[in-house]
C-alpha cells in the first residue's frame, strides 16, 4: 500500500482513474490535495459510529436528552457537535420491548454519515438492500439476532432525504456503568438495527 | 428509471456477509474518490447529484462494480457532462501515471475550511408544509413510469399504505436530474409486508419516505 513503491503491485483501473481525476482537478484548481486529505482524515478518525454510541448512551442516562433525540434527531446530534452532509434531517427511532427497528436504503446506500460514518460494505451490498425490506427476520438471523415472534419489526427505507438511526434498548445489568461505559456497549450494528447491545456485541464494529 | 439500483424486495441474492473490524476505506483510492466528491460539493464545484449517474450505469456493470467504483465512474461522467474533463483527458493522464507520473500536491486553506464546515452542524432548513395528506390517512403509491431519476421504489408502486409522518418539503429528485429546483412535501408511509408481498406470510412493517407527487388518495 505504500505510495513509494510504484512497482510493488499493479494498480487497478479505478485506482489509476482516481489518481488521474485528482491530478487533473488539482491542476485546474477545482480541488486541493489538503482538502481531500481533510475529508479522508475526518472519516477515518473522527466521524464514525462512536459518535452515535455517545448519543445513545446519553439518551440512556438522561431522559431529557432522550426526549430531545426522539423529537428532533438533527438538533440532538448538533448538541453534541455532530452534523453536516447526510445528517441534515436525522430521525431517531426507538426500540421497545415489543418493537424492533432497522434501517436500509434499497435504492442506493443512504446512511447517517455524521453519526455513524461511512456505511460498511454489507450495508451497501445487493443482498442487504434487496432482502432487508422483504425478509428481515432471515437477514437478522444471519447477523445472529433472533427476535421473538411477537416482536413487531419496522424497517425504515431511507428513500428520500431523512437519515435514520436506531435507539436500542439499554441492556439489563448495566446499572453500574457510567455514560462512557454504556457507550462502549453500543456498536454500529446496534444503531443500524441488525444487532442489539449485549447480544451480538463484538461480532462486528 | 426502473433500473437495477432499485433492489428492494428482489429475490435471488445470497446471505449478507459482514466483515469484522471493517475500515472506512479498504483502499486509498476509495477515500480519494469520496474526498474529491465531498470537496467539489462543499465548494460548489462543477458536479451535480451523483445518484442519477450511478443509476445509469449499465446493469451488468453496476452489479459487477463496488460502491466506490460506481462513485468514480459517476464523478467522471458528471465532470465530462459539464465540460470540465473529457474522457480522453483522463485516459491520457492514466497513461502518464502508468509511465511513472505523480499526482501533484496543492494546498488551499480556504478549501480545507469549506470542507470542514460541510462536516459541521448547520442551521436546519425546515421549509413549511403545504401537505395534502394527513397523518393516518390511507394513500396509494402511483404506478409511475419514467425514464428520469426518481426515488419511488418499485416494490411500493401500486400498493396502499398509511401516512405515518409528514416530512418537510424537499427537492424533487426528478427535477434535480432535469436541472430544475422545486420542493414538494414528503411523507413517511407505512406499508404492511402482507400488502407488499401477499404470498410471503411475513408480518413486519416497511416505512418508506415518499414525495407527495408519488402518492394518491387510496380509494
- pLDDT tens-digit readout, B23-50: 999 999 999 999 999 999 999 999 988 9
Give kind and range of the element (H or E) at residue B28. helix B28-42
A-B C-beta contacts closer than 8 Å: 308
Please state, in angstroms and rounded to a whole number, the distance separating the CA atoms of residues B112 and B118: 10
Q: Is A108 a catalytic residue?
A: yes
Among residues B28, B20, B148, B124, which one has the least CA distance to residue A189? B20
Q: A196: Cβ–Cβ under 8 A, 6 or more apart, which residues? A: A95, A100, A145, A168, A169, A171, A190
Please report residues of B whose CB lies closer than 8 A to that of A122.
Answer: 16-19
Mean local confidence (pLDDT), B187-201: 98
ipTM: 0.96
Please report residues of B whose CB lies closer than 8 A to that of A21.
Answer: 33, 36, 72, 75-76, 79, 85, 90
Residues paired with B189 in a beta bridge: B163, B208
Residues paired with A91 in a beta bridge: A164
- pLDDT tens-digit readout, A149-200: 999 999 999 999 999 999 999 999 999 999 999 999 999 999 999 999 984 4
Residue B122 pLDDT grade (very low, low, confident, very high; cuts 50, 70, 90):
confident
- What pLDDT is stored for residue B179 in this prediction? 67
- pLDDT tens-digit readout, A98-154: 999 999 999 999 999 999 999 999 999 999 999 999 999 999 999 999 999 999 999
- What pLDDT is stored for residue A1 in this prediction? 44
Amino acid at each position: 500500500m505504500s505510495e513509494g513503491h510504484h512497482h510493488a503491485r499493479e494498480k487497478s483501473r479505478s485506482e489509476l482513474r482516481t489518481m488521474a481525476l485528482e491530478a487533473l482537478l488539482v491542476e485546474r484548481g477545482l480541488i486541493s490535495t489538503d482538502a481531500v486529505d481533510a475529508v479522508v482524515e475526518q472519516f477515518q478518525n473522527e466521524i464514525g459510529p462512536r459518535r452515535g454510541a455517545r448519543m445513545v448512551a446519553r439518551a440512556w442516562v438522561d431522559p431529557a436528552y432522550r426526549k430531545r433525540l426522539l423529537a428532533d434527531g438533527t438538533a440532538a446530534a448538533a448538541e453534541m457537535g455532530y452534523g453536516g452532509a447526510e445528517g441534515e434531517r436525522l430521525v431517531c427511532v426507538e426500540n421497545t420491548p415489543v418493537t424492533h427497528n432497522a434501517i436500509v436504503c434499497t435504492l442506493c446506500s443512504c446512511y447517517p454519515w455524521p453519526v455513524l460514518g461511512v456505511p460498511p460494505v454489507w450495508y451497501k451490498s445487493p443482498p442487504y438492500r434487496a432482502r432487508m425490506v422483504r425478509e428481515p427476520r432471515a437477514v437478522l438471523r444471519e447477523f445472529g439476532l433472533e427476535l421473538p415472534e411477537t416482536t413487531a419489526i419496522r424497517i425504515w427505507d431511507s428513500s428520500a432525504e431523512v437519515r435514520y438511526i436506531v435507539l436500542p434498548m439499554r441492556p439489563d445489568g448495566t446499572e453500574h456503568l457510567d455514560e462512557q461505559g454504556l457507550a462502549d456497549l453500543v456498536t454500529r450494528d446496534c444503531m443500524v438495527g441488525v444487532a442489539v447491545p449485549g447480544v451480538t456485541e463484538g461480532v462486528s464494529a | 428509471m426502473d433500473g437495477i439500483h432499485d433492489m428492494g424486495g428482489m429475490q435471488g441474492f445470497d446471505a449478507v456477509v459482514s466483515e469484522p473490524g471493517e475500515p472506512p476505506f479498504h483502499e486509498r483510492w476509495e477515500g480519494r474518490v469520496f474526498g474529491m466528491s465531498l470537496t467539489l460539493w462543499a465548494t460548489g464545484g462543477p458536479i451535480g447529484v451523483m445518484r442519477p449517474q450511478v443509476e445509469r450505469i449499465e446493469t451488468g456493470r453496476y452489479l459487477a462494480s463496488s460502491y466506490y467504483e460506481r462513485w468514480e465512474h459517476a464523478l467522471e461522467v458528471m465532470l465530462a457532462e459539464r465540460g470540465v474533463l473529457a474522457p480522453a483527458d483522463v485516459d491520457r493522464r492514466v497513461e502518464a501515471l502508468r509511465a511513472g507520473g505523480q499526482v501533484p500536491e496543492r494546498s488551499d486553506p480556504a478549501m480545507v475550511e469549506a470542507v470542514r464546515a460541510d462536516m459541521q452542524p448547520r442551521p436546519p432548513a425546515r421549509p413549511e408544509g403545504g401537505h395534502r395528506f394527513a397523518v393516518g390517512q390511507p394513500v396509494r403509491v402511483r404506478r409511475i413510469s419514467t425514464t428520469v431519476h426518481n426515488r419511488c421504489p418499485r416494490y411500493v408502486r401500486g400498493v396502499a399504505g398509511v401516512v405515518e409522518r409528514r416530512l418537510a418539503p424537499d427537492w424533487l429528485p426528478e427535477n434535480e436530474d432535469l436541472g430544475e429546483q422545486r420542493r414538494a412535501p414528503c411523507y413517511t408511509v407505512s406499508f404492511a409486508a402482507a400488502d407488499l408481498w401477499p404470498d410471503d406470510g411475513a408480518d413486519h412493517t416497511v416505512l418508506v419516505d415518499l414525495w407527495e407527487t408519488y402518492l394518491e388518495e387510496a380509494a
